[in-house]
Amino acid sequence: MEKLLIAGGAPLRGTVTISGAKNSAVALIPAAILAESTVILDNLPDLSDVAIYSELLTEFGAVVERQADQMKIDPSALRSVPMPNGNVKKLRASYYLMGALLGRFGEAVVGLPGGCNFEPRPIDQHIKGFEALGAQVSIEGGAIHIRAKELRGAKVYLDVVSVGATINLMLAAARAKGVTIIENAAKEPEIIDVATLLNSMGARIIGVGTETIRIEGVDSLHGCRHSIIPDRIQAGTYMIAAAATRGDVLVDNIIPKHLEAITAKMLELGVRIEEHDEALRVIGSEVYEPVDVKALVYPGFATDIQSPMCSLLTQTRGTSVLTDYVFSSRFKYVPELVRMGAKIKLEGRSAIIEGSPLRAAAVRATDLRAGAALVVAGLTVKSGITEITGVEYIDRGYDRLVENLAGLGAEIWRA
C-alpha cells in the first residue's frame, strides 16, 4: 500500500503554480458528449479522476487524446451504451454522464456514483430535474435508467443548493426543446466554467453565477476550445499549508476573487496576504488567533477546504469552532488528527478545536479532502515522520502534490 511520508517542521517558501480545477474538469469532459465535433480542453489537471473520466469517454466510443495539459475529445462516434459498472463506480462525478447522455441521446443507463463517500450523498435533486424535463427515471440493480421521448424545457426549483444537480440540469437542458429555468441554482465558479464551455459550443445559457439560470435549448452543439479555470481548492490548501508552517508562499496562476472567503479567514487568524492579479502571497506568523469558520455554498467558505482549515486551526492559541452547513458529517478525518495530538471535539455538524501542537503518527486518509487535512497537519509536526495511507484519495484531487510541496522546501516523499 502506497504511503506519503512527511518529516515536517520546515516553513514552506517559494512559488507554487496551481493547475486547472478538478471539479470543473470532471464536468467539462462529459459536457463534450453534447458536441458533434472536437472539444479541446486546456489547463487540464493531472489527476486520477481525470484519467478515469477520459477512459470512460473512450468506453462510450469517443476518441480522446491527451498531451501535457491538453485533452482533445472527438465525440462524433460516441454512442449511449449502458454503463452500469466499472469506471463509473470509481467516481462521484460520473453522475454528469446522466445529464450529458440524456441531453445528447435522450437516454442513459449509468451505475450509481462512487468516489468520496464521506456521508450519504443523495442525487434526488438531479432526478427531480430530469423528470421535470420529461424523462422517466428508475433505479435498477445499482444503476440509474433515464429515458425521454423528447426533452422539454421546464422550470425547476432545487430544494437544496447543489453543484452537481445544477450542472447536470444545464447539461440535459442545453439541447432540450424550449426554455429551462433553474431556480435556487448553485453559484460556484465551476458552474460558470461549464456554462462558458457550453456557450462556446453554441448553447444559450444566461444567469450563471446567480440563483436563476436560463437555458434556451438548441438543436445541436459544436466543438470548441476552452481553458479550465484554476483550482481554488488546491490553491486554498497551499495557502493553508503556507500559514500552518509559518512560511511565505506565492500561490500563482489563480483567480484571487474565488478565494475571498478563505483570504478573509486567514487575515482574521493573523496571516498576512498580498493580493496580485493572478496570485496571492501568504506570509505566516508565529501566533494565530482562534476563529470561527462556517462552510457554506459559494461565495461562502468552501466545504472542500474545511478539513485542511481544521488542521490550521490546531495551530492557534485558543478555541475555534468549525461548522459545515453543506455536509452534516464531513469529519471522518478528525479521529486521525486526534491521533496526531489534536484536541478536537465533535458536536453535531461542528468541530471544536483547541489549539495544540501536533505530533507524528501513522494515519489514514478516508477521503480526498481528509487527505489534505492530514498532509497539512504532517507539515506542521516538528519531529518524527508522519505516515499517511489512503494516498489514492489524495491523487484524485491534488495535481503533483508531492513535487509541489517538495519544491516549497517540504520533506515529503512516497514509499
186/163 Cα distance (integer angstroms) = 5
Nearest distance in Å: CB 3, ligand UD1: 24
Select from 8, 45, 75, 164 the one that contacts ligand UD1 (CB under 6 A).
164
Nearer to ligand UD1, 125 or 315 (CB): 125
Select from 7, 18, 23, 221 the one that contacts ligand UD1 (CB under 6 A).
23
Nearest distance in Å: CB 109, ligand UD1: 19
145 phi/psi in degrees, rounded to 5 = -110, 125
270/280 Cα distance (integer angstroms) = 15
Residue 126 makes contact with ligand UD1 by CB under 6 A: yes
Joined grid coordinates for residue 21: 480545477
Residues 44-73 that bind ligand UD1 (CB under 6 A): none
Q: At what angle do helices 163-173 and 96-105 cross, to 10 degrees?
A: 10
Site string for ligand UD1, 285-324 (x = CB under 6 A): ------------------xx--------------------
Distances (CA, A) of 355 to 4, 217, 408: 25, 53, 25
Joined grid coordinates for residue 55: 477512459
267/91 Cα distance (integer angstroms) = 35
Joined grid coordinates for residue 103: 441531453
400/46 Cα distance (integer angstroms) = 7
Q: Which stretch binds ligand UD1 (CB under 6 A): 117-125, 147-155, 281-289, 370-378?
A: 117-125
Select from 169, 282, 326, 360 the one that contacts ligand UD1 (CB under 6 A).
326
Nearer to ligand UD1, 229 or 381 (CB): 229
Select from 139, 160, 267, 362 the one that contacts ligand UD1 (CB under 6 A).
160
Residues 377-396 that bind ligand UD1 (CB under 6 A): none
Nearer to ligand UD1, 264 or 287 (CB): 264
Nearest distance in Å: CB 126, ligand UD1: 5
Nearest distance in Å: CB 112, ligand UD1: 12
Cβ contact 232:65 at 8 Å: no
Residue 93 makes contact with ligand UD1 by CB under 6 A: yes
Cβ contact 151:131 at 8 Å: no
Question: Judged by CB under 6 A, how many residues of this single chain contact ligand UD1?
Answer: 20
Burial of 149 (0-12, 13-18, 19+ CB in 10 A): exposed
Q: Out of 28, 83, 116, 375, which one is annotated catalytic?
A: 116
Nearest distance in Å: CB 347, ligand UD1: 18
Residue 114 makes contact with ligand UD1 by CB under 6 A: no
- Known catalytic residue at 310: no
Which residues, 6 or more positions from 4, have their beta carbon under 8 angstroms from its beta carbon?
Answer: 375, 378, 387, 388, 391, 394, 402, 412, 413, 414
Return the closest-CA partner of residue 21 out of 273, 262, 242, 226.
226
Helix (H, G, I), strand (E, B) or coil at 144: strand
Select from 38, 125, 180, 404 the one that contacts ligand UD1 (CB under 6 A).
125
Joined grid coordinates for residue 184: 435556487
Contacts with ligand UD1 by CB under 6 A lie at: 23, 26, 92-93, 121-126, 160, 162-165, 186, 303-304, 326-327
Q: Which residues are known to be catalytic?
A: 116
